[in-house]
Amino acid sequence: MKRRTVLLIVLMALVVLATAGLVDAASSSTVQLRANLKAAPKQQVSVPNASARFSSTLVVRKKTKSTLGWRLTYSGLSGAPTLAYIALPKSAKQGEVTVQLCKGRRCKTGVAHSSRLPAIVAKALATRKGYVWVRTKKNPKGEIRGRIVRSG
């Protein structure tokens, strides 16, 4: 008798977990994003051949935190990147850093990671409101940047 009760409870728990997964999957959407980075305005040191590419997959969930999987590749910079990040613009200002992509030694071309995002940030990125910035020692205010847009 006890064994049947335990099996029934386990079965009910599995059904609840499976249903929760389906509900979460049904309330999520996937958005492909990209950014082509070019010379940032107001560089301290000009770098005419610098470029970078940011590509990502954003899984937006309505009830839980969203996930941003991303890859950053670059070439022609004035030196090694000191910081790469996503900023959401404020009116007429650079904007506030919302997602740090990499910092220091972790900023290598081809680096790929994922980040969990609050719903408000995910919504802003899904509606193309963010910029990707890369800073170097010679251009600490930003060497290259690019606006995030949807792929395809």
pLDDT at 26: 43
Q: How far is CA 31 from CA 23, 109, 141, in A?
A: 19, 23, 29
Arithmetic mean of pLDDT, 84-105: 78
Phi, psi for residue 77 in degrees, rounded to 5 = -75, 165
Arithmetic mean of pLDDT, 124-128: 81
Fold of 28-150: Immunoglobulin-like (2.60.40)
pLDDT at 136: 92
- Report d(CA 50, CA 38) in Å as an integer: 7
Report the chain's terminal Cα–Cα distance, integer Å. Answer: 58
Buried b (16+ CB within 10 A) or exposed e, 46-72: ebeebbbbbbbebbbbeeeebbbebbb
The tokens of 35 are what? 């950014």
- Report d(CA 38, CA 69) in Å as an integer: 22
What average pLDDT does the structure give for the chain? 75
- Report d(CA 59, CA 122) in Å as an integer: 8
The pLDDT confidence band at residue 82, using thresholds 50, 70 and 90, is very high
The pLDDT confidence band at residue 11, using thresholds 50, 70 and 90, is very low
Q: What are the tens digits of pLDDT across the range 26-57?
A: 456 888 888 888 887 766 677 777 888 888 88
Model-level pTM greater than 0.85?
Answer: no
